[in-house]
Structure 1
Amino acid sequence: MSARRARSGSRAPLSPLTGPVPADTGTASFDAVPGDPHAYVLTLNGVPSSPYRSDDPRVLDFEYLRWMAHLTASALPAGRSVRAVHIGGAACALPRHLDAIRPGSRQTVVEVDAALADWVRANLDLPRSPALAIRAADGAQEITRFRPNSIDLIVRDAFAGDTTPDALSSSAWFDGVHAALGPHGAYIANVADHADRTALRSEIEGLRTRFSHVLAVVDPTQFRRRRRGNVVVAAAHDPIDARAVESLVRGDGASVRSGVELMSHLGPAHARR
């Protein structure tokens, strides 16, 4: 692992350490992006899992994270601080982004990999607690420990390999999310969808029975060609301006699906866990 220049008296290196990273759940590495002196990527078990910008946390280098940020901007009042919970932390790209654009926010990251969480806190430039607290815990269990109706934003971005763990897509999980969110809160999830759309349909069905408004940001070619890929889903009791989201994600070649249009793209229903 190579050491980089440290910022005197700072809470984290100006240029973070690169190379292998401790992880309890497999292998991990934190590597510089060639051609960009400020860009890094955290890779977990061979899968690029989180970008990191040393110069500007407002910049999100993964498109699905930009979609999440756009959904947050559309679902929650602009400029206000939020109480947010992130299930799955990696390099904390989205929490850093929200802290930069919504000063005063209080966020909790729940990361199942304790060794990785310790390394990220020690080596990356993160907001300090209580602005950003990191808990090494199981997200499915931890969601039930938040006070009911106390959270403005819940983000689920956690995987076992390239699949959403069953415990984070079960009926009990959605019940926990519904209980923790405030009446004007929003839930946003990164869904690793299969070609047969079973994962996405399961997510949508779980949310539609608990929230009045559900939509998805998709790569249209992924839907047309019925190929595997990631879809970002949002749910809330309050309306989410789909047109506003559409205009924001268009630059990434993405589009928004909701209602009958969304359901028409999904495969046949199947029994819930």
Structure 2
Amino acid sequence: MNSPSSDVAVPPAPSQPAAARALPNGLAAFLVFYSSGAVLVLETAALRLVGPYVGVTLQVTSSVIGIALAAIAYGSWAGGWLSDRRNPRTLLAPALVLSGIATAITLPMVRYAGEVLRGGAVSGVLLLVVVAVFVPAMLLSAVSPMVIKLQLADLRRTGQVVGRLSGIGTLGAVTATLVTGFVLVAALPSTVILFGLAATLGITGIALGVYLHRQDRATVPGAPRVRAALAVLGLVGAGLITVAPDPCDVETAYHCARVEVDPGRASGRTLLLNSAQHSYVDLADPTHLEYAYTRWIGAVADVVAPEGQRLDALHLGGGGFTVPRYLTATRPGTDNLVFEIDGGLVELSEQRLGVRQGPDLRAVVGDARMLVAGEATDSRDYVVGDAFGHLVVPWHLATREMAAEIRRVTRPGGVYVQNVIDYPPLRFIRSEVATVAAEFGHVALIAPPEALAGERGANFLIVASDAPLPLAAIRARLDDGNEPASLLSGGDLTDFAGEALVLTDDYAPVDQLLATA
């Protein structure tokens, strides 16, 4: 009797697909190094792309880092998943070419979306950052798991292969971060950086595709259609780039800068940094002070040193050099020393805003915190703090330790004025008043009445000295102005500051204090 199994045909075991051929070790290392580095170049450039529309705050920086990390995570996951289902050799070249196209399209997409999402709303920041970085970073992050899959021919060496390629990828990211931050951003506009990255990605992908095709001597199914689709995407991206709005006249190492002519004043020029009004200059009349806070600075200067009396003035932040030009015009012989971190902004001011350096005006390029430390004690009559990163005072210029350095540099009887921007509920200005008051013996605050009432955001001017302030004279000068301005001092200012946090180098959450509740 035959066994039951003898009448049943046993199907043959399914044939296992041949393992994909590994790449040469040098090529594998290059692809992992290059793709990982390209993600960090893109991340750095993305921060500069979104800055003109949403600023360069801690929240924006955190969003760029967070979205980039999310793109890396999803890209690595997707790359590994695809590698288990398709021959990674057929995926590598398209991934690189697509990432190049996505990088090229990033610029026009950010500029179009930025005009719609302009402002500092959290949702707008996150959405614009996603547009700027997510897709190309995800495509690039899929390359490493594809390469690793190809190189895992010997299971006894998986740890060595994965560890070596992971280390090479990290080295690529570190190298790209340093090169971009120290070299590329200083030498090239972000537009050129992105276009260069897109071009090298595309060329690398095409070259890799040709190499692998010759090695495998086989045509990938659907390759002509894929190449045609990629070509169409590239043409669409090129077309968008040519018509995308450009918010910059000049892109410096720190800012997207533009100078606009005032339609109501032929000689008036407005300097915009990252699309925010930063300075106003009248080329024909350096005594014209357009903005209220500059008039307040001028009023305090007029009280400290009557017109015609020279001053030794130190300016933390140059911008359009409005106040240094005013002091020079009203007090011949004044020595204006300006610390400006952005050398490109100094050049733009010289070219477009009528700034002329000489015995009465010297601009030193560098970080004000470090430069102030090198100034002589009791060397300045008037110190003007007007440094901003977008609309935020850099945190290291807002601490008690910085106020102590300024006090050291200021002569007995000299005055320090600090421009601060804040919004309801006014947490930052309260803390900054408390911080300056912790070092200076006499402090006052000038601001619009409705801003002090918490009805709107505005500029605030802190006035500080170790000598009693000429409050009556300052009040009289403010009353001569066209707009109402409150002057708080003594108990009123103490009540305004309340129990506000004194900012220190160890703890200065400036961006969080500025966030509206």
Contact 2:271–2:278 at 8 Å: present in 1 too?
yes
Q: Partner residue of 2:503?
A: 272
Deviation at 1:31, TM superposition (A): 0.6
Q: Is the Cα contact below 8 Å between 2:432 and 2:503 reproduced in 1?
A: no
**Deviation digits for residues 196-223 of structure 1 (CA, Å, limit 9, x no counterpart):** 3222222222222322211011100111
Corresponding residue for 1:227? 456
Change in Cα spacing, 1:71 to 1:191, as seen in structure 2 (3 Å) is same
Q: Give, in whole Å, the separation in 2 of the partners of 1:270 and 1:37.
A: 45
Aligned twin of 2:261: 32
Secondary structure of 1:264 counterpart: helix
Segments of structure 2 that go 5 or more residues without pairing to the other structure are 1-247, 505-517
- Aligned-partner Cα distance in 2 for 1:265–1:271: 14
Query: Which of 396, 402, 407 lines up with 1:178 in the alignment?
Result: 407
Question: Aligned-pair distance for 1:38?
Answer: 1.3
Larger proportion of strand: 1
Question: Residue 8 of structure 1 aligns with which residue?
Answer: none
- Could you report, residue by residue, the CA deviation over 1:136-156 in whole angstroms, capped at 9, with x for unpaired residues? 110111111111111111101
**Counterpart in the other structure of 2:435:** 206
Residue 45 (1) aligns with residue 282 (2): no
Of the candidates 273, 295, 300, which is equivalent to residue 71 of structure 1? 300
1:258 is aligned to 2:489? yes
Distance in 2 (alpha carbons) for counterparts of 1:230 and 1:35: 23
SS in 2 for 1:256: strand
Moved over 6 A (4+): none
Cα contact 2:259–2:352 (8 A) shared by 1 = no
Cα offset, 1:160, TM superposition? 1.2
User: Cα deviation per residue 1:179-212 (whole Å; 9 max; x = unaligned)?
Assistant: 1111121100101123232222222222223222
Instruction: Verify the 8 A CA contact 1:76 1:186 in the aligned structure 2.
Output: no
- Counterpart in the other structure of 1:118: 347
Q: Which moved more, 1:208-217 or 1:182-191?
A: 208-217
C-alpha distance in structure 2 between counterparts of 1:21 and 1:92, whole Å? 17
Larger Rg: 2
**Residues 1:254 and 1:99: Cα distance change in structure 2 (over 3 Å):** same
The question of whether the paired residues in 1 share the 8 Å contact of 2:317 and 2:387 is answered with yes
Alpha-carbon distance between aligned partners in 2 of 1:201 and 1:169, rounded to the nearest angstrom: 12
Give how far 1:226 is off. Answer: 4.5
Deviations 1:210-247, CA, capped at 9 Å, x for gaps: 22211011100111235322101110122222222222
When the two structures are superposed, what TM-score results if normalisation uses the length of structure 1?
0.88
Distance in 2 separating the partners of 1:102 and 1:177: 23
Structure with a larger share of its residues in helix: 2
Matches within 5 A, 1:107-256: 107-250=336-479, 251=481, 252-256=483-487
Equivalent position of 1:7 in the other structure? none
**Number of corresponding residues:** 255
Letter of the 2:497 partner, please give it.
L
Q: Distance in 2 between matches of 1:114 and 1:68?
A: 24
> Equivalent residue of 1:185, what SS?
strand
RMSD (Å) for aligned C-alpha atoms: 1.7
Q: Structure 1: where are the runs of 5+ without partners?
A: 1-18
